Structure 1
Amino acid sequence: MSDDSSIVKNDDLSIQIANILKNNLNTQTTNHKLSDSLQISIKLNSQNYALWARMIRVAIGGKSKALLTHLSGNPPNKTDEKYEQWEQDDLVVFSWLIQNIEPSLASNLTEFPTSKTLWDALVVTYSSGKDKLQTFDLHVKANEFKQNGLPLEDFWIVLQGIWGEIERRDPNPMKCADDITAYNTIRAEQKLFQFLNALDQKFDPIKREILRWDPLPTAEAAYAAVRKETAHQNILRTGSSPSQGIAAGLITTEAEGAGYATQRRPIVKSSGIPTRVDKSKLKCTHCGMVKHTKEQCFKLVGYPEWWGDGHKKGKKDEGEASVTVGNLKATNSDAYNRTGAVMAVAADFVEQDTGHQDGNDYWTWH
């Protein structure tokens, strides 16, 4: 009997020692984790409570899920054997909260006795709760927000911030799984439309393409498509810059070659359709012919070099001017002054090709 009782006592002692060692090990591990500081990316101020509250809860839960009860649960009785450990944990949570509040605000919050009382005070002071006016303002911002030249990434971050605040203040109210899915689908489509509507006008082609997709993508997928298209455009624009410069140079050269003619009377409209000037009321006082004036008469200003064989050339004593199309050189100062008129008539002839010789070495203009 004595041997059996001694064996039982030894077993009980071994179990007690094992439990003590286990408890000490868990306590050391827990205390090591709780002794670490806790810092999140933002500090609480008067404007960011909703975001801050979400982030601090996630951070505390990451340390220990049991510690989240310190923000909502009541403490045990002081006579309870667990009270000492609870108080130690609560002091750690309290310090984490204070560390992540702006110093100007934290200085007035250190006198609260527990983490829960501090948390409740923050909710009352800084949370707007279900303030429908602020919810309304957020929905207005989401619908009216425009890119207005912002970089695509910066624009997307701002818009996501607005949507996140709406989700926190106006969460999905549905209970049934099917209703929850349907509500989320509707809200996702609204976010897509808000994103596309806010983009700058230069993205209109890709916006139209996205709206043709079936089914419609999420706003996130649409952003990825726009961002990819923007990268492609930047690559192509960089590669085509030299050719654009060459084309611009050609246009400039042609404009300079046209000289006074382009300044006095444009030959082509902005739409690309040739113009036709009504000359039916014009009459030359020098040769008596119609549809041109004395200043435009080839008899006085001379015939251009492109005038074909069989047409009479003007003589120098009649005021011949040697006109070169493109550089507008003239050998006679009087003819040079009339170069613009010559070019206007010549260009109109080349473009319309409606004149004909009347048999008397005069040119009849139509």
Structure 2
Amino acid sequence: MSDKAGTSNPPQVIVHTDAPFPTRGVILDDSNFHLWSQLMEMRIGARNKSGYITGKTTKPTEGEKEIETWLIENNKVKSWLIDSMSPSLIHRLIRLQTAAKIWEAVSQTFYDGSDETQLFELNRKSLNNRQTGRPLATYYNELISIFQEIDACLTTQEDTVDEAVSANKAMSRFRVHIFLAGLDSEFNQVRSEVMRKDPPLSLEACYTYIRKDRNQRQTMEEKVPEPDGMLHLATRNWPKKGRTSNNKNTFSCTHCGEDGHSKIKCYKIIDYPDWWDFTKKPRKKISQATIATTAPANEMNIPVVAHTSTGMYPHNFTKNDTWIIDTGATDHMVNDLSKLATSHVPKQ
């Protein structure tokens, strides 16, 4: 645009400050003035309106052309303050004429830098705070919030910079001890490690060290995932040559009476596999026990040990005697093969 030929006005930059004022759900009540006041100072200052709550932006006199602008801006800041209060506070403060008076009334109501009762309550909260199973970050952030409120109540009384630095270091170490004391018992070992650090860790460094230790332990304690179902069965239950499954009592066969398999998998029905060892102890329902016929080379009686229902006892027998071997062993040994009428080599 131009007023005259050959002349032009510089482009105008318009800044919109009428965007909705966020409260983030923080409504002023009797318990959260410190948090509320910090948020309000930050947000009002970001809109270049801090002077309306501090009183530095004074009201122009009647008749000045700035009076209308000031009234609009003052009401805007008032609405920001009022909209972020509980209903009971709104009724008390809405009739005050300026934002600065509302801010002053709230500060006098909820905060006094010399209020020892408030400082005592904050210190008590910090000393009694415990993790009690909560996430580490939740416990740490809650302590930091309390420490910040304590700092806002305190005023530096040291005379020199060195004294102030020394007092700050002492306070920092004290807060590290408060943080460590409130941790759950699972952090006992890492707590001892932190206490042995030289130089001592700051509160922020202490939290970082413990968080890393917690993450490492969680990674190491993760369970190895179970293998695929079919692969798991194959690796656990695949029959070994000459062996049966270790879990013998899972099933009981109704056909042969043996444990370790069901009727549908009974070898007496579906036939024995090639690797089966027939020298194993007799089955429960085998009608005839293994019978060995002795044929001594001479007429001398040969003492053997036979097992009957009455127990083990020496027994003398002569030619053509028969006896039942039931010693529980899968193999038997004699000093002369001719003493046995029949014999065979077990299948491999």
| TM-score interval, normalised by the smaller of the two chains | 0.5 to 0.7
Match of 2:68 in 1: 84
Match of 1:188 in 2: 172
Counterpart of 1:130 in structure 2: which amino acid? S
Match of 2:216 in 1: 232
Paired residues of 2:96 and 2:102 also in contact (CA < 8 A): yes
2:89 aligned with 1:97, yes or no? no
2:113 aligned with 1:113, yes or no? no
Instruction: Report deviation, 1:99.
Output: 2.1
TM-score, reference length from structure 2: 0.57
Distance 1:90 1:186 in 2: 44
Instruction: Report deviation, 1:174.
Output: 3.9
| Pick aligned residue for 2:50 from 52, 64, 68 | 68
Match of 1:296 in 2: none
Counterpart of 2:28 in structure 1: which amino acid? L
Instruction: Report deviation, 1:210.
Output: 1.0
Instruction: Report deviation, 1:96.
Output: 1.3
CA spacing shift, 1:126–1:161, aligned 2, 3 Å: same
Unmatched tracts of structure 1, length 5 or more: 1-12, 243-315, 321-366
Paired residues of 1:189 and 1:218 also in contact (CA < 8 A): yes
Match of 2:20 in 1: 37
Match of 1:204 in 2: 188
Structure (1 or 2) with the larger CA radius of gyration: 2
More strand by share: 2
CA spacing shift, 1:177–1:142, aligned 2, 3 Å: same
Match of 2:255 in 1: none
Q: SS of the counterpart of 1:238?
A: coil
Distance 2:41 2:143 in 1: 24
Counterpart of 2:148 in structure 1: which amino acid? G
2:43 aligned with 1:59, yes or no? yes
Counterpart of 1:186 in structure 2: which amino acid? A
Match of 2:138 in 1: 154
* Percent identity of paired positions between Structure 1 and Structure 2: 25
Q: SS of the counterpart of 2:207?
A: helix
Question: Number of aligned pairs?
Answer: 226
CA spacing shift, 1:83–1:175, aligned 2, 3 Å: farther
TM-score, reference length from structure 1: 0.55
Instruction: Report deviation, 1:241.
Output: 9.6
More helix by share: 1
Match of 2:151 in 1: 167
The CA RMSD measured in Å over matched residues stands at 3.3
Q: Which moves more between the two structures, 141-150 or 55-64?
A: 141-150
Paired residues of 1:39 and 1:99 also in contact (CA < 8 A): no
Distance 1:191 1:241 in 2: 41
Counterpart of 1:40 in structure 2: which amino acid? T
Aligned pairs (5 A) from 1:212-231: 212-231=196-215
Instruction: Report deviation, 1:90.
Output: 1.2
Residues 203-257 of structure 1: CA distance to partner in whole angstroms, max 9, x if unpaired?
Answer: 1111111112121111111111111111111121124799xxxxxxxxxxxxxxx
| Structure 1 outlier segments of 4+, above 4 Å | none
Paired residues of 1:37 and 1:96 also in contact (CA < 8 A): no
2:93 aligned with 1:131, yes or no? no
Instruction: Report deviation, 1:56.
Output: 0.3
Paired residues of 1:43 and 1:52 also in contact (CA < 8 A): yes
